Chain A
Amino acid sequence: MPGVAGAERLLGEVEEAEAALREAAERELDGEASFDAVIAADQKIEPRDAMPDAYRAGLIRQIAQHAHSEIIGMQPEGNWISRAPSLRRKAILLAKVQDEAGHGLYLYAAAETLGVSRQELDTALLTGKQKYSSIFNYPTLSWADMGAIGWLVDGAAIVNQVPLCRCSYGPYARAMIRVCKEESFHQRQGYQSLYVLAQGTPAQRAMAQDAVDRWWYPSLAMFGPPDADSTHSAQSMAWKVKRFSNDELRQRFVDMCVPQAEILGLTLPDPDLTWNEQRGHYDYTAPDFEELMRVVKGDGPCNRQRMAHRNRAHEEGAWVREAAAAYAEKNRKAVA
């Protein structure tokens, strides 16, 4: 079983970011350095530091959306836990979905350092006020989707998230280092699982190709709209929250996937995918951004289903949360 070419390099970047973080913590800035000076010196902004309102609001929006994505992302993969075709695969998938809940937890904690409460964040997800990644509004129709999601969706997430390990906001950067390390395990297991299918029976192979056909373009769309239409990008770059443009990251992802697909022996569903000697990159067909906008606005195949599921779980758990609160309150009074 071959390794996931290119993934090791990304993991190396995570390690470098971690070292840089430690080093930055040891470099002392003079007394009360201004926000701009901290950013300019590549230091980290910490929760107690002064920061522009728009920086705070933008980070809350971004971290919350990321946390919500982890929570909603449990649904499409959770869909196959009960039917996993071997006990080993069942254990891996269950552990992976559990990791996603864990990622959600520490991302919510990172968002809370910016002065927003868990309850506010929960409400924002449940009411649709804040979004989650549109990729999770696509259905998981076969077991091979577990492999394709691991390889392509987690792969795209890693390409997006590795630069965030160097983000200027300390708690987010630290959370992302941990998330990226676990995501890289997720991607490896997905790739490995898909590899086994691609080498398997004709039916398994067809299942694997069908999954790649369905997940390729939605994965490309995960990097967001083209640079020309990206609303939050410029300021985000100046504040060193974002380090690369949407299109740069998308290109990086395509360049990584092509040789990986060759090793799998599966075809990426883009007849125009060709190496461009001059650019030193693969030329590829852009995803359908109109489709992306439709899904973002709520009209993807599973938006309603995902939101209804989350709301139902929240409502059905209300009596349990109330009981826990009432019990804690009684105990507090008993102690006092």
Chain B
Amino acid sequence: MSGLAERATTVDLLALGDDALIAAQRLAEWVSRAPTLEEDVALANIALDQLGAARMLLATAGDEDELAYRRDDRGFRNCLLAELPLGPGRGDLDFGWTMTWLLMLSAAQLLRYTDLAAGADEHAAGIGAKAVKESTYHLDHATQWMLRLGGGTEQSHRRVQEALDGLWPYGHELAEGIRDRWLALVEPVLAEAGLTRPADRWRPDGGRAGRHTEHLSFLLAEMQSLHRAHPGAQW
């Protein structure tokens, strides 16, 4: 990193990269636990896309493994939504929460990658262009499931509405600066799924400045444990 202008770009890329990395780590929790085998394949695929994007983005800011494994939670720039458990509490894994989370996240990623692809930095634009295609698929996957869960059974409707109510506040930080465009992607899906868009009240934030929820340090403790136990080792 040299020069202020360059740093400004890198900080954005690092935040995007951290979003993707932490999202990949969360999504991979679904491996061997999805509701159907087809969905197991799909979720692993989305996790792989997130990880791939994270690696390209982190590499623009430094060494990918240094950044992923040697920073403490205060050094991570991901939004709070990315690190939340994919269920109501720590250790929970709920499909309704996961699809709501993916809808919110992938809509924001799609917009940010689209902007990246249109930017002046050729290298970053290339990363953005590749990631746009993947985010489009992620958003579509989440959308299809929101429609099924919202319009499926009484139970599925209730569960996905609860997830939406729980996650919605984190959309403020997630879509900071792109709020209107983000709502234009997300609200029609909620309407078609027959879900109630929650009111805007609480706006938790701090992730971009390295002030995270209690959940991130647990996620990192697991992710970084082996790497940190063998300083300097090659893998």
Chain A residues with a Cβ under 8 A of chain B: 71, 74-75, 78, 81-91, 94-95, 97-98, 101-102, 104-105, 108, 143, 193, 196-197, 200-201, 203-204, 309-310, 312-313, 316-328, 330
Nearest CB in chain B to that of A319: its residue: B155
Known: A78-B31, A203-B230. 19 other contacts (CB 8 A): A83-B223, A84-B226, A87-B68, A91-B52, A94-B44, A108-B37, A196-B234, A200-B234, A313-B32, A313-B33, A316-B93, A317-B95, A319-B159, A320-B36, A322-B152, A322-B153, A323-B148, A323-B149, A323-B156
Once bound together, how far apart are the Cα atoms of A284 and B100, in whole Å? 55
Nearest CB in chain B to that of A94: its residue: B48
Nearest CB in chain A to that of B96: its residue: A320
Q: Does B147 make an interface contact (CB < 8 A)?
A: yes
CB proximity of A102 to chain B, nearest CB, Å? 6
Choice from A98, A319, A323, A326 contacting B48 with Cβ under 8 Å = A98
- Note all chain A residues with C-beta closer than 8 A to B96: 320
Once bound together, how far apart are the Cα atoms of A317 and B153, in whole Å? 14
Chain B interface main SS type: helix
- Note all chain A residues with C-beta closer than 8 A to B44: 94-95, 97-98, 101
The residues in B between 62 and 114 inclusive whose CB is less than 8 angstroms from any CB of A are: 64-65, 68-69, 93, 95-96
Q: Does B127 make an interface contact (CB < 8 A)?
A: no
Once bound together, how far apart are the Cα atoms of A143 and B155, in whole Å? 40
A102 touches B41 (CB 8 A): yes
Once bound together, how far apart are the Cα atoms of A6 and B235, in whole Å? 24
Q: Does B162 make an interface contact (CB < 8 A)?
A: no
B31 touches A320 (CB 8 A): no
CB proximity of B20 to chain A, nearest CB, Å? 11
Choice from A81, A87, A310 contacting B54 with Cβ under 8 Å = A87
B41 touches A101 (CB 8 A): yes
Given A94-B48, A101-B44, the answer on whether A327 and B28 have CB atoms closer than 8 Å is no
Q: Does B51 make an interface contact (CB < 8 A)?
A: yes
Nearest CB in chain A to that of B147: its residue: A327
CB proximity of A111 to chain B, nearest CB, Å? 13
- Note all chain A residues with C-beta closer than 8 A to B38: 105
Once bound together, how far apart are the Cα atoms of A83 and B228, in whole Å? 11
A317 touches B34 (CB 8 A): yes
CB proximity of B37 to chain A, nearest CB, Å? 6
Choice from B33, B55, B147 contacting A316 with Cβ under 8 Å = B33
CB proximity of B146 to chain A, nearest CB, Å? 11
Choice from A82, A316, A320 contacting B223 with Cβ under 8 Å = A82
Once bound together, how far apart are the Cα atoms of A323 and B149, in whole Å? 6
Once bound together, how far apart are the Cα atoms of A308 and B95, in whole Å? 19
Q: Does B131 make an interface contact (CB < 8 A)?
A: no
Choice from A75, A91, A95, A318 contacting B32 with Cβ under 8 Å = A75
Q: Which of B33, B55, B223 has the most CB of A within 10 A?
A: B33
A324 touches B148 (CB 8 A): yes
A201 touches B95 (CB 8 A): no
Q: Show 14 A/B contacts (Cβ-Cβ < 8 Å), sorted by A.
A: A74-B32, A75-B32, A81-B28, A82-B223, A90-B28, A201-B232, A203-B233, A204-B233, A313-B33, A316-B93, A319-B159, A320-B39, A327-B152, A328-B148
Once bound together, how far apart are the Cα atoms of A60 and B230, in whole Å? 47
Choice from A87, A104, A319 contacting B51 with Cβ under 8 Å = A87
Once bound together, how far apart are the Cα atoms of A88 and B234, in whole Å? 11
- Note all chain B residues with C-beta closer than 8 A to A82: 25, 28-29, 222-223
B35 touches A91 (CB 8 A): no
Once bound together, how far apart are the Cα atoms of A97 and B148, in whole Å? 27
Given A98-B41, A319-B153, A319-B159, the answer on whether A85 and B31 have CB atoms closer than 8 Å is no
Once bound together, how far apart are the Cα atoms of A97 and B43, in whole Å? 12
A97 touches B32 (CB 8 A): yes
Q: Does B60 make an interface contact (CB < 8 A)?
A: no
Once bound together, how far apart are the Cα atoms of A91 and B37, in whole Å? 20
Once bound together, how far apart are the Cα atoms of A311 and B48, in whole Å? 26
Q: Does B188 make an interface contact (CB < 8 A)?
A: no
B51 touches A323 (CB 8 A): no
B226 touches A143 (CB 8 A): yes
A317 touches B35 (CB 8 A): yes
Q: Does B151 make an interface contact (CB < 8 A)?
A: yes
CB proximity of B197 to chain A, nearest CB, Å? 20
Nearest CB in chain A to that of B152: its residue: A323
CB proximity of A150 to chain B, nearest CB, Å? 14
A87 touches B230 (CB 8 A): no
- Note all chain A residues with C-beta closer than 8 A to B55: 87-88, 91
B156 touches A319 (CB 8 A): yes
Once bound together, how far apart are the Cα atoms of A74 and B149, in whole Å? 27
B148 touches A327 (CB 8 A): yes
- Note all chain B residues with C-beta closer than 8 A to A143: 226
Q: Does B132 make an interface contact (CB < 8 A)?
A: no
CB proximity of A70 to chain B, nearest CB, Å? 10
Q: Does B142 make an interface contact (CB < 8 A)?
A: no
Q: Does B175 make an interface contact (CB < 8 A)?
A: no
- Note all chain A residues with C-beta closer than 8 A to B65: 86-87
- Note all chain A residues with C-beta closer than 8 A to B39: 317, 320
B31 touches A81 (CB 8 A): yes
Nearest CB in chain B to that of A143: its residue: B226
- Note all chain B residues with C-beta closer than 8 A to A204: 230, 233
- Note all chain B residues with C-beta closer than 8 A to A201: 230, 232-233
